[in-house]
Amino acid sequence: MSISTRKPNIKLLVSAEWFNLLIFALKQNIRTVNNETVKQEAAALVDKLLKYSRPYTDDDTQSEMVDMRFFPDEASDMIWQLIVTFGLFYKSADEDYYSQLKVNHIPNSPTRKEFNNG
């Protein structure tokens, strides 16, 4: 009986410096955010990234790089974590982009439910 393995289908390649910054941001969320779910998701991402990311040297530039892979739910969690990190440093935006969205959105664009199912 063979074991079926799913491969994460979202790939992100970053420099070692950006990888370090990403882990730092997640660890900041673990240390400073009051929401336990956000902390647990950040910790899970740190654990995954430090175990399963692949370090390598780019052949063309000789730069140290990291190949990270995410399943869609993990990518969503990562984006959310980065938004939380922004919120720690930037308390408000310089403009009301939500109002701009309400004016500029495409009226017949799919709802969240339609988008996720389609």
Q: 39 near 30, Cβ under 8 Å?
A: yes
d(CA 95, CA 115): 27
Q: pLDDT (tens digit, 9 = 90+) per residue, 27-59? A: 999 999 999 999 999 999 999 999 999 999 999
Instruction: List Cβ neighbours of 102 (8 Å cut-off, separation of 6 or more).
Output: none
What stretches of the chain adopt beta strand conformation (E)? 10-15, 54-57, 64-70
φ, ψ of residue 3 in degrees (nearest 5): -90, 125
In a domain, 56, yes or no: yes
In a domain, 1, yes or no: no
In a domain, 103, yes or no: no
Task: Give the range of the structural domain holding residue 30, as residue numbers without chain letter.
Answer: 10-91
Task: Please count the helices (runs of H) and the strands (runs of E) in the chain.
Answer: 5, 3
In a domain, 62, yes or no: yes
Give the pLDDT score at 114: 60
pLDDT averaged over every residue in the chain: 90
Number of domains in the chain: 1
**Which pair of structure tokens corresponds to residue 9?**
């289908």
Give the pLDDT score at 117: 63
Q: pLDDT (tens digit, 9 = 90+) per residue, 52-72? A: 999 999 999 999 999 999 999
Q: Angle at which helices 36-52 and 72-89 pack, to 10 degrees?
A: 120
In a domain, 39, yes or no: yes
Quick one: pLDDT band at residue 111, thresholds 50, 70, 90?
A: low
Q: pLDDT (tens digit, 9 = 90+) per residue, 81-109? A: 999 999 888 878 888 989 998 999 888 76
**HSE (CB half, 13 Å, CA atoms) of 38?**
20
In a domain, 104, yes or no: no
